[in-house]
Amino acid sequence: MTATATPLTTVSAAPPALRWTTEALVALFELPFNDLLFRAQQVHRQNHEANAIQLSTLLSIKTGGCSEDCGYCSQSAHHGEVEREALLEVDEVIAAAQAAKDKGATRFCMGAAWRGPKDKDLDRVTDMIEAVKALGLETCVTLGMLKQGQAERLKAAGLDYYNHNLDTAPEFYGQVITTHAQSDRFDTLGQVRDAGLKVCCGGIVGMGETRRARAALLAELANMSPPPESVPINQLVPMPGTPLENAPPLDPFEFVRTIAVARISMPGSMVRLSAGRQEMSDELQALCFLAGANSIFYGDKLLTAGNPEADRDEALFARLGLAAA
Q: Is 201 a catalytic residue?
A: no
Q: Is 272 a catalytic residue?
A: yes
DSSP letters spanning 210-271: -HHHHHHHHHHHHTSSSPPSEEEEEEP-PPTTSTTTTPPPPPHHHHHHHHHHHHHHSTTSEE
Amino acid identity of 148?
Q
Classified as helix, coil or strand, 194 is helix
From the list 153, 214, 263, 272, the catalytic residue is 272
From the list 140, 214, 257, 277, the catalytic residue is 140
CA distance 48 to 46: 6
Q: Is 66 a catalytic residue?
A: yes
Rounded-to-5 percentages of helix, strand, coil across the chain: 40, 15, 45
Q: Is 70 a catalytic residue?
A: yes
* Neighbouring C-beta atoms of residue 324, cutoff 10 Å: 16
Classified as helix, coil or strand, 120 is helix
From the list 70, 185, 263, 288, the catalytic residue is 70
From the list 107, 153, 200, 263, the catalytic residue is 200
Q: Is 109 a catalytic residue?
A: yes
Q: What are phi and psi of 233, to 5 degrees?
A: -105, 110
- In which element (H, E) is residue 109 found? strand 107-112
Q: Is 73 a catalytic residue?
A: yes
Q: Which residues are catalytic?
A: 66, 70, 73, 109, 140, 200, 272
